[in-house]
Amino acid sequence: MNGEHGKPNDASARLTAVQARIRAASEASGRPQGSVRLLAVSKTFDSAHVIAMADAGQDAFGENYLQEALDKQARIADERPALALEWHFIGPVQSNKTRQIATHFAWVHSVERLRIAERLSAQRPEEMGALQVCLQVNVDDEPSKSGCTPAEAPELAVAIASLPRLALRGLMAIPAPREGFDAQLPAFERVKALHEAIRERLMREAPETGARFDTLSMGMTGDLEAAIAQGATIVRIGTALFGQRKAHAG
């Protein structure tokens, strides 16, 4: 599948193959079946690709760029009004985009600052349920990468837990790329340990949030096995499902 911009009619075979990878990885690490959720990352792929993947049985989709996502959602609602999809925002959140994100997504994985969390909470529409959020952690402390530092994460989690229209569900991380399962394990292990420490602190200081702080959003096409071995509950998969991406236009 390398170098191929996947056609919509590959959807079913690609989805089955990714589900098999998730199942095998879960089994290999003694995780119960069904404990890892697949988020299909559809950035740069059009509505036809999303619809084909939905028809193959996938219901949750992740997007990085707000305008692209809104256009795609509108087109899908138009073409297939009965299709109920769950949309997750996984890209950097700019503060002038928080209202649209709070209105058009069920989840945001990429919260990294309190200001952004406050705006998302204030702008989440009354008639919608709480916005499900993860705190993004820059687990390798890479200077140019998104996410709060591991050291900042506990305080930030406690502060976000007090926001009324958000449900803080866990951590999201994108480790630096590394080749091979063994090399990939340590960064995911650090995220898992941080998640555990934050959950324990929340259980003391914000028990309602602590009780549902159950999400580790980590693992992509190249490292999902290592992420699952370290406890990932959501893997975010683009390339293996849709094919190689063309560069993003804007």
Ligand X SMILES: *Cc1c(COP(=O)(O)O)cnc(C)c1O
Binding site for ligand X (CB under 6 A): 41, 43, 64, 90, 174, 220-222, 236-239
| Spatial separation of the C-alpha atoms in residues 103 and 140, rounded to whole Å | 32
Nearer to ligand X, 148 or 237 (CB): 237
Closest approach, Cβ 207 to ligand X, in A, equals 30
Q: Give whichever of 29 and 64 is closer to ligand X, judged by the CB atom.
A: 64
Task: Specify the residue, 202 or 234, whose C-beta has the smaller distance to ligand X.
Answer: 234
Tokens of 112: 């990294």
Which residues fall within 8 angstroms of residue 152, CB to CB, at 6 or more apart?
Answer: none
Extract the tokens encoding 138.
């820059």
As a whole number of angstroms, the distance between CA 249 and CA 200 comes to 42
Residue with the two structure tokens 């394990």? 185
Of 202, 193, 16, 167, the C-alpha closest to 24 is 16
Question: Beta strand 86-89 with 60-63: parallel, antiparallel or unpaired?
Answer: parallel
Shortest CB 152 distance to ligand X, Å = 19
What is the C-alpha to C-alpha distance for residues 149 and 236, in angstroms, rounded to an integer?
Answer: 21
Least Cβ distance, residue 37 to ligand X (angstroms): 14
* Both tokens assigned to 38: 């697949």
For the bound state, the minimum distance from the C-beta of residue 219 to ligand X, rounded and expressed in Å, comes to 9
To the nearest whole angstrom, how small is the minimum distance from the Cβ of residue 203 to ligand X? 28
Nearer to ligand X, 125 or 177 (CB): 177
Nearer of residues 192 and 236 to ligand X, judged by Cβ: 236
Q: Which is nearer to ligand X, 22 or 161 (CB)?
A: 22
Residue, CB closest to ligand X: 238
Of 43 and 124, nearer to ligand X (C-beta) is 43
Taken in order 120, 121, 127, 130, the sign of the CA dihedral is positive
Q: Which two tokens stand for residue 204?
A: 């003391």
Q: Shortest distance, CB of residue 116 to ligand X, whole angstroms?
A: 16
Report whether 72 contacts 47 (CB < 8 A). yes
The tokens describing 185, both together, are: 């394990």
Q: Which of 115, 204, 194 is nearest to 160 (CA)?
A: 115
Residue 205 beta carbon to ligand X: minimum distance, rounded to whole angstroms? 29
